Structure 1
Amino acid sequence: MKPVKGALFYLMVLGLALVAVPGYPLFSDTGIVGYKGLTMGIEYTGFKVEPGESVDTDILLINQGNTGADIKVWIEKAPKEWNVVIQNENLMEVTGIFVPPESQKKLIFKAVPKGEIKSGSYQFVVGAKTTDGKFYRRKVVTINVVQKVKEKASGKILINTFYPVLRGPVTGRFEFTVMVKNGLGKDAIFNLYADAPDGWNVNFKPELKSTYISSLRILANQSKTLDIEVQPVSTAAAGEYPIKIGIRTKEASAEAKLKVILTGSYSLKVGTASGLLSVNARPGKPSNVSIYVKNNGTAENRDISFSSFKPENWKVEFKPAKISVLKPNQVKQVEVIITPYEEALVGDYSIEVQAIGQKGSKDSVEFRVTVKASPIWGWAGIFIIALMIAGLILTFKFFGRR
């Protein structure tokens, strides 16, 4: 019995020595031991892809300890049918990384098939280890390659619209998105066309690109997404406008209906028929000037009101005081009655007249008002001068006799 006990004792000592020796970690399939607060994980550990598709996922290295860690990383196992690499965010291949205390770092696991590969399950093992050997992790990534089930040709072309009705002002640019499916069972080139109101521009573009196209090639039983850009004519009135778009080959065709709802634009123009912006007035007396208000927008403008910026104690009135409705390009005349203050001094004054419509539409004109003296003061002056002359004549006559 003594030799057996002695052998067991030596085995226990050897095991403890192995644990104590740096660089010789004790680990299981997925991990290991000996470095407090440090861990490694894979964001996505399982994938299902079609032949030819590549895979990438993040490798997360988290250090919750109070000291930094230098970590070596590598691909411990990879099937021969794949090219596998560990990269940083700049897509450079990485074999080691430093993780500061209380922080985390991220690397990228990338697997690219070497050409066409067979269906099946492929396993990859990612390893991570500190330079002192106290931390060691192994993580498994599984990629299942599945052959795509071939769709049976429907013999049709399909167009699906995501948002067939768009709303906005005439100055806007409307962009629809449609998906076109080739169900003919063979590759084909499709011609694109559109039926829109006169003067409107309709252009087809590949998804998220700015190039205009008039045709496109779609593989058998595949789909492609198109952007359709619509620009209304600038003179279009508010209302609903249907647009028909289509795609066709020799064998088949398909159409879809779109709609643009124009809310119209709002713009006003204020001015005078003659273009003159000067007015003569007298203190306390009303003076009239005519202005016109024009709807330069494409929508009806309602409840147009007026306001003025004038000197203190002056009066400015409008006839009519409000325009109930003004159609696009319609013009209406408004009388502006300006009454200076009774004690206004002779000179030039500025008055601004403003028309205010819907949706923030407004315009204004500024008049120069010249206040002149009242004629009564002119006659009074003449009378005083005449009295003075008469007085002088009488004075000369009286003193001349003496």
Structure 2
Amino acid sequence: MKTKAKNLTQSFLALVSIGILVVTLVASVLPSHAASAFTMTTQYPGRTVQAGNTVSFDLDMYSASEDPVDVELAAKSLPDGWTGYFDGDGNSITDVYVKNGENDAAASFYLTVPDDAKNGTYQVVLTGTANGTTSTLTLNLTVSEQETGASTLSADYSEQEGASGTAFTFNTTIQNNSAESQSYSLNASAPDGWQVKIVPSGESTQVASIDVDARASKTMTVTITPPDDVQAGDYTIPFTAVSASENLSQDLKVTITGTYGLTITTSSQSLSFDAAINKPTQVTLTVTNSGNIDLTNINLSTSTTPTDWTVEFSDSTIDSLAAGATKNVTMTVTPADSTLAGDYELDVAASTDDNAASTTAAFRVTCTSSTAWGIVGVVIIAAIVAALLWVIRKFGRH
């Protein structure tokens, strides 16, 4: 009997040992968070940020419950002045429905660092509670004047100079160093009357926003054109690219060195004159440098001329014309002999070789028949009348 009892005891202990071993083996192959009914984590709980920036954290959640559970979210601890909220599909939320198993990026947490935050390390404590189980997530934020890997907005040549009317072209680049794609709203705050055009490289359409993938860059051409009457001086145009979490800026500087200007008129200020058909008519043009920059190589030409007319200038090129100075040029106009009497338009243009300064004057030319042709016409009519009278006298009696 004693031997039988001993054998039973040994068998029982052996079964217990096997059971403990099986439980240990099963536990070793289960997921690490199986021991907890619910866990909340994020891929990057430690971040470096800048004062005034907003950063976001994707929240991954695991539930061991076979049925979906409602998870109550809370920010249990925030540094003074810091603000944050939970987001789901663009909406502020307080709870999230979590299914069994892994739920990647089930929600997001947006955190705004105050503008006056001092450099240093801060902690934010988030909690998620489901079926009585609370998971605590601690975020470690390091505030630094220069965020590690911060996104940037830059320009190849951010300072340029030229005369009024010049189109200043800046090649700019947005470098998105964040872990998420960003949609940036673009704006260049130019003075009133200035024109701004922002076009992505390789495209022709003007845009007001641009999308940049994570860890990628996009280049743009920013063209800024001041008005013709802008005053000489220095101008700063802030160029910004703003997304939901970043505010990037780059100052573009323009120095206006002066103003180009040209005018064409006559000594009488009249832009109309009479011309006889097939007879040369001379008109004295007054070409004035109305800007404050000396001009060279001013070319005179006609942009609109009636058919077969000839137009000549005593000086087709003005070598130089000081700011404010005037030059008289004789224009000789000869209407073609096929021209009918009436009014015609003649456009006279003046421009420098580089087209920095240009102008066009539209003249109205009233064409009249030649006096000689009028006399010839009268003689012909008189001859016809005389011939008729002779015929009547000679044959009228019969």
Give the TM-score normalised by structure 2.
0.52
Structure 1 residue aligned with 2:326, among 314, 325, 331?
331
Which secondary structure does the structure 1 equivalent of 2:338 belong to?
Answer: coil
How big is each residue's C-alpha offset from its partner over 1:168-188, in whole Å with a ceiling of 9 and x where there is no partner?
A: 54699xxxxxxxxxxxxxxxx
What is residue 294 of structure 2 aligned with on the other side?
A: 300
Which has the larger displacement, 340-349 or 88-97? 88-97
Q: How does 1:215-294 map to 2 (within 5 A)?
A: 262-294=256-288
How big is each residue's C-alpha offset from its partner over 1:57-97, in whole Å with a ceiling of 9 and x where there is no partner?
A: 4221469xxxxx87736469859999886533989563436
How big is each residue's C-alpha offset from its partner over 1:114-160, in whole Å with a ceiling of 9 and x where there is no partner?
A: xx99x9977665456888x9xx97654335799xxxxxxxxxxxxxx
Change (3 A) 1:297 1:43: farther
Q: How does 1:21-40 map to 2 (within 5 A)?
A: 25-26=34-35, 40=41
Decide whether the 8 Å contact of 1:283 with 1:371 is kept in 2: yes
What is residue 87 of structure 1 aligned with on the other side?
A: 86
Q: How does 1:125-204 map to 2 (within 5 A)?
A: 126=126, 139-142=137-140, 167-169=161-163
Change (3 A) 1:78 1:42: farther
Distance in 2 of aligned mates of 1:145 and 1:108: 18
Query: Aligned-pair distance for 1:334?
Result: 1.5
Decide whether the 8 Å contact of 1:40 with 1:59 is kept in 2: no
Decide whether the 8 Å contact of 1:85 with 1:93 is kept in 2: no
Change (3 A) 1:335 1:17: same
How high is the sequence identity, in percent, across the aligned residues? 23
Distance in 1 of aligned mates of 2:137 and 2:263: 72
What is residue 364 of structure 1 aligned with on the other side?
A: 360
Distance in 2 of aligned mates of 1:123 and 1:235: 53
Distance in 1 of aligned mates of 2:390 and 2:164: 83
Change (3 A) 1:126 1:356: same
Decide whether the 8 Å contact of 1:43 with 1:57 is kept in 2: no
Amino acid at match of 1:324: D
What is residue 109 of structure 2 aligned with on the other side?
A: 108
Distance in 1 of aligned mates of 2:261 and 2:269: 20
What is residue 341 of structure 1 aligned with on the other side?
A: 336
Query: Aligned-pair distance for 1:315?
Result: 0.9
Which secondary structure does the structure 2 equivalent of 1:311 belong to?
Answer: coil
Amino acid at match of 1:340: P
Change (3 A) 1:265 1:10: same
Amino acid at match of 2:341: V
Distance in 2 of aligned mates of 1:111 and 1:140: 16
Structure 2 residue aligned with 1:3, among 9, 12, 16?
12
What is residue 215 of structure 1 aligned with on the other side?
A: none
Query: Aligned-pair distance for 1:343?
Result: 2.0
Amino acid at match of 1:6: L
Amino acid at match of 1:363: T
Decide whether the 8 Å contact of 2:55 with 2:112 is kept in 1: no
Decide whether the 8 Å contact of 1:287 with 1:339 is kept in 2: yes
Which secondary structure does the structure 2 equivalent of 1:88 belong to?
Answer: strand
Query: Aligned-pair distance for 1:288?
Result: 0.9
Query: Aligned-pair distance for 1:314?
Result: 0.9
Decide whether the 8 Å contact of 2:82 with 2:113 is kept in 1: yes
Amino acid at match of 1:58: S
Which secondary structure does the structure 2 equivalent of 1:25 belong to?
Answer: helix
Change (3 A) 1:14 1:268: same
Change (3 A) 1:310 1:120: closer
Distance in 2 of aligned mates of 1:284 and 1:3: 134
- Equivalent pairs counted in the alignment come to 281
- Please give the root-mean-square deviation of Cα atoms over the aligned residues, in Å: 5.5
Change (3 A) 1:107 1:396: closer
Give the TM-score normalised by structure 1.
0.51
Which has the larger displacement, 264-273 or 377-386? 377-386
Change (3 A) 1:235 1:386: same
What is residue 380 of structure 1 aligned with on the other side?
A: 376
Amino acid at match of 2:275: A
Amino acid at match of 1:354: A
How big is each residue's C-alpha offset from its partner over 1:281-303, in whole Å with a ceiling of 9 and x where there is no partner?
A: 22222111112111121211221
Change (3 A) 1:77 1:389: closer
Which has the larger displacement, 85-94 or 359-368? 85-94
Amino acid at match of 1:295: N
Query: Aligned-pair distance for 1:340?
Result: 0.9
Query: Aligned-pair distance for 1:337?
Result: 1.0
How big is each residue's C-alpha offset from its partner over 1:295-327, in whole Å with a ceiling of 9 and x where there is no partner?
A: 121211221112211111111111210111222
